């Protein structure tokens, strides 16, 4: 009995030893691997910012189980690429098993921190096999140089409020105050902002035509009271390249991030930041594109928007809390909630604007345009004029009002299309009331070039073409892209493409 028990133990030990020898039935790889790609191109990254994760599939097309003696990077520990093989991270691996007719995934990332100023490509080589008989796959990354704006050891930090949580509690973050030499942004290189950059009181942040400003996650610009943001974009000759446009967006340059909402915070204007001037500015993929906090004096608006576009914010594109702005030839596109949200009253003017929310990243319950001038039984003064404009989107009703008519200073929709299922927007305000609605266009057939890619040009057959009031257009004879609209103007910011 003891002998049988002893032999059983020996058998188990041998079986265990057999199963643990990964190389027992594996032959070394001798160049018979094939790959899903001849070269792995990691899309453009900014110097110092991590890339997305890319994959390479390695195939063993033979009928033999093999082991790959080495999976390594040619530059070894000095490489700025990172690998993950079989769930293990590193730069080099040995004796990697690969069964017959099976495949292996290798995941690749990079953060390029060390590259010569005049170099634009960072490269390395993935090597598989054994020395003198490696199979190689080049790795290539385009590195974009940038000017970085962030809090350093000499920056003055300041706590700011960027919003409220669902319970109404303030959300506060530590920002950093911009220095005088950071208040002039030019177009020679893109900028990358880390954190909330604060324009100090009594200062101006000026952004030159053609500038590109990228924001890291949880970053943005905070315009203090009595300070200004001046964006000086001008008309571009190429409507696709927008070479003279100023663009604010996230810092992920890979194509798969081109239309990912909520990559960065947004632009916040503190109360009494007035006479901000935004020309030919595109803001995209923020959380709240523009937020205005508080009301200015009666004579000067917080912001003047001319030929601007705000797209694809995860929450709201344009939100004002008792502030004021004028918007001309501007597009307020898709957003997770509202294209435009006006709270606590205020004073607003829209001329030849397109408000069109075709959000496709989830279920949306909020209208494209929401005016909320009442709160907790109280109401706020409201002045709103919208002319030759469009209110549209993918839900049945894209306009909602919460207004006390006793506090209305002015309310006029003139030659504006509205998508709505009801004529009675409130118990006291009907679209049939001519003192509020002049020549309204209800639920017109309307299509765009490609709203999912932020292309809100109306298409032939849209019922908003050629029906604008020419008396209004006379003061704005060209659309956002410089197309003439003097005869038979279309509604909205964009004329039909010639």
pLDDT in tens, 2-58: 444 444 444 444 444 444 444 446 778 767 899 999 899 988 898 889 999 999 999
Together in a domain, 104 and 153: no
Per-residue pLDDT, 25: 62
Together in a domain, 405 and 458: yes
Per-residue pLDDT, 47: 86
In angstroms, rounded to a whole number, what is the distance separating the alpha carbons of residues 386 and 350? 5
Per-residue pLDDT, 44: 87
In angstroms, rounded to a whole number, what is the distance separating the alpha carbons of residues 260 and 74? 34
Q: Tell me the mean pLDDT in the region 254-280.
A: 94
CATH of the domain at 138: 2.60.40.10
Of 126, 144, 162, the residue that ends a domain is 144
In a domain, 198, yes or no: yes
What would the two tokens of residue 408 be? 């209305």
Give the chain's mean pLDDT. 90
Range of the domain at 99: 27-144
Q: Tell me the mean pLDDT in the region 231-235.
A: 98
In angstroms, rounded to a whole number, what is the distance separating the alpha carbons of residues 261 and 271? 26
In a domain, 22, yes or no: no
**Eight-class DSSP state of 370:** E
Q: How many domains does the chain have?
A: 2
Per-residue pLDDT, 22: 46
Residues 6+ apart with CB under 8 A from 95: 22, 23, 67, 68, 69
**Mapping DSSP to helix (H, G, I), strand (E, B) and coil, where does residue 256 land?**
helix
pLDDT band at 479 (very low <50, low <70, confident <90, very high): very high
Residue given tokens 């595109």 in the structure block: 282
Q: Would you list the DSSP string of 147-208?
A: EEE---TTPEEEEEEEEE-TTS-EEEEEEEEPPGGGSEE-SSS-EEE-SEEEEPTT-EEEEE
Per-residue pLDDT, 214: 94
In a domain, 309, yes or no: yes
Per-residue pLDDT, 10: 45
Per-residue pLDDT, 452: 87
Together in a domain, 206 and 324: yes
pLDDT-wise least confident of 111-115, 250-254, 439-443? 111-115
What would the two tokens of residue 103 be? 């495949």
pLDDT in tens, 172-226: 988 999 999 999 999 999 999 999 999 999 999 999 999 999 999 999 999 999 9
Per-residue pLDDT, 6: 43
Q: Tell me the mean pLDDT in the region 70-95.
A: 93
What's the predicted TM-score (pTM) here?
A: 0.84
Together in a domain, 67 and 164: no
Whether the predicted pLDDT of 458 surpasses 60: yes
Q: 360 with 452: CB under 8 angstroms?
A: yes
Of 144, 166, 183, the residue that ends a domain is 144
Whether the predicted pLDDT of 422 surpasses 50: yes
Together in a domain, 86 and 234: no
Q: Tell me the mean pLDDT in the region 405-427.
A: 95
Number of C-beta neighbours around residue 378 at 10 A: 10
Together in a domain, 99 and 231: no
Together in a domain, 252 and 296: yes
Whether the predicted pLDDT of 281 surpasses 50: yes
pLDDT-wise least confident of 39-53, 263-277, 343-357, 415-429? 39-53
Whether the predicted pLDDT of 117 surpasses 80: no
Per-residue pLDDT, 118: 64
Per-residue pLDDT, 2: 45
Residues 6+ apart with CB under 8 A from 459: 447, 448, 449, 496
What would the two tokens of residue 359 be? 């959000």
pLDDT band at 83 (very low <50, low <70, confident <90, very high): very high
Per-residue pLDDT, 21: 44
Together in a domain, 112 and 85: yes
**Portion of the chain with pLDDT greater than 70, in percent:** 93
Of 144, 166, 191, the residue that ends a domain is 144
Together in a domain, 317 and 411: yes
Together in a domain, 72 and 204: no
Together in a domain, 133 and 155: no
């Amino acid at each position: 009995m003891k002998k049988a028990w002893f032999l059983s133990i020996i058998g188990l030990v041998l079986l265990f030893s057999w199963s643990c020898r990964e190389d027992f039935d594996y032959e070394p790889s001798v160049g018979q691997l094939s790959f899903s790609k001849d070269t792995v191109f990691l899309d453009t990254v900014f110097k110092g910012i991590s890339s997305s994760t890319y994959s390479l599939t390695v195939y063993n097309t033979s009928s033999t189980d093999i082991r790959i003696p080495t999976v390594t990077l040619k530059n070894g520990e000095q490489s700025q690429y990172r690998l993950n093989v079989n769930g293990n991270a590193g730069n080099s691996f040995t004796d990697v098993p690969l069964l017959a007719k099976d495949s292996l995934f290798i995941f690749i990332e990079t953060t390029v921190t060390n590259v010569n100023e005049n170099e634009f490509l960072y490269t390395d080589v993935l090597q598989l096999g054994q020395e003198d008989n490696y199979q190689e796959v080049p790795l290539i990354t385009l590195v974009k140089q940038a000017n970085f704006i962030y809090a350093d050891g000499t920056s003055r930090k300041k706590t700011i409020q960027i919003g409220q949580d669902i319970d109404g509690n303030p959300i506060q973050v530590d920002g950093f105050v911009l220095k005088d030499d950071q208040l002039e942004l030019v177009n020679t290189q893109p900028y990358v902002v880390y954190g909330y950059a604060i324009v100090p009181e009594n200062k101006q942040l000026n952004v030159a035509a053609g500038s590109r400003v990228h924001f890291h996650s949880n970053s943005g610009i905070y315009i203090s009271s009595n300070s200004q943001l001046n964006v000086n974009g001008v008309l571009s000759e190429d409507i696709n390249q927008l070479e003279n446009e100023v663009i604010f967006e996230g810092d992920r340059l890979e194509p798969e991030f081109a239309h990912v909402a909520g990559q960065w915070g947004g632009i916040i204007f503190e109360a009494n930041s007035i006479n901000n001037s935004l020309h030919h500015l595109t803001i995209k993929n923020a959380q709240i594109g523009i937020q205005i906090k508080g009301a200015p004096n009666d004579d000067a608006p917080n912001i003047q928007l001319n030929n601007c576009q705000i797209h694809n914010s995860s929450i709201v594109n344009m939100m004002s809390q008792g502030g004021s702005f004028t918007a001309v030839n501007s597009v307020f596109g898709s957003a997770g909630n509202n294209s435009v949200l006006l709270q606590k009253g205020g004073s607003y003017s829209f001329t030849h604007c397109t408000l069109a929310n075709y959000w496709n990243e989830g279920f949306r319950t909020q209208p494209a345009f929401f005016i909320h001038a009442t709160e907790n039984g109280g109401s706020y003064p409201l002045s709103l004029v919208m002319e030759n404009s469009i209110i549209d989107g993918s839900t049945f009703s894209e306009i909602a009002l919460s207004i006390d008519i006793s506090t209305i200073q002015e309310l006029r929709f003139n030659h504006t299309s509205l998508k709505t299922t009801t004529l009675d927007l409130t118990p006291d305000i009907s679209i049939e009331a001519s003192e509020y609605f002049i020549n309204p266009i209800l639920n017109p057939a309307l299509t765009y070039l490609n709203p999912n890619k932020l292309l809100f040009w109306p298409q032939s057959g849209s019922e908003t073409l050629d029906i604008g009031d020419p008396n209004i257009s006379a003061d704005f004879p060209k659309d956002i892209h410089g197309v003439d609209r003097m005869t038979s103007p279309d509604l909205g910011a964009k004329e039909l493409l010639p």
